[in-house]
Amino acid sequence: MDDPSSISRDLCYLQMACVALSLVAGSIIIIVSVSKAAAAVGGIFIGAAGLGIFMLAYPFLKTRLNLDHILSAIGNLRIHPHPGPDHGEGRSSINGSKDGTRSSLSTVSRTLEKLKTGARGAEES
């Protein structure tokens, strides 16, 4: 019976041979082709070779760069808004959505009123 590591090594060599053959075939097709359709077929061969290279490099990248940690960190990106300061209204800013909306709307309306009265006072002076 064959050793599992030798089978894995043989499959890796087979995959590298397929990638090399695909690169060579795609390059020849693109160089020799007259029509754009034939060049597109050569591009498909080169794209398949690129995918094969990625498949060969994935285990190395996974161990060296710890892709699982990076991908999970990217998947957990969230926007966490910082709650505004509490203006002594007797409730925290992390209440239900209606209470939080009301308090922030009242804060905005008070600020707008201050700006309006400040602009009126500047016009009268």
Range ranked top by mean pLDDT from 8-12, 24-28, 104-108: 24-28
Q: 98 pLDDT band (50/70/90 cuts)?
A: low
How far apart CA 19 and CA 37 sit, in angstroms, is 22
- pLDDT tens per residue across span 11-67: 888 888 989 999 999 888 888 888 888 889 889 999 999 888 888 888 877 777 776
The contacts found for 76-80 with CB under 8 angstroms, 24 or more apart, are none
Instruction: Give 122's pLDDT tier (boundaries 50, 70, 90).
Output: low
**Coil/strand/helix, residue 6:** helix
Share the mean pLDDT of the chain.
75
Residues in the chain: 125
Under the banding of pLDDT at 50, 70 and 90, the label for residue 93 is: very low
Of residues 6 and 26, the one with the higher pLDDT is 26
Cα(first)–Cα(last) distance of the chain, in Å? 100
pLDDT in tens, 70-79: 777 777 666 6
Compute CA 107 distance to the chain's CA centroid, rounded to the nearest angstrom.
Answer: 36
Alpha-carbon dihedral 55, 61, 62, 68, rounded to 10 degrees:
-110
Long-range contact set of residues 81-90: C-beta below 8 Å, sequence gap at least 24: none
Alpha helices in 36-80 (DSSP H): 36-65, 67-75
C-alpha 84/C-alpha 80 separation (Å) is 12
- Cα-to-chain-centroid distance, residue 31: 35
pTM above the 0.85 mark? no
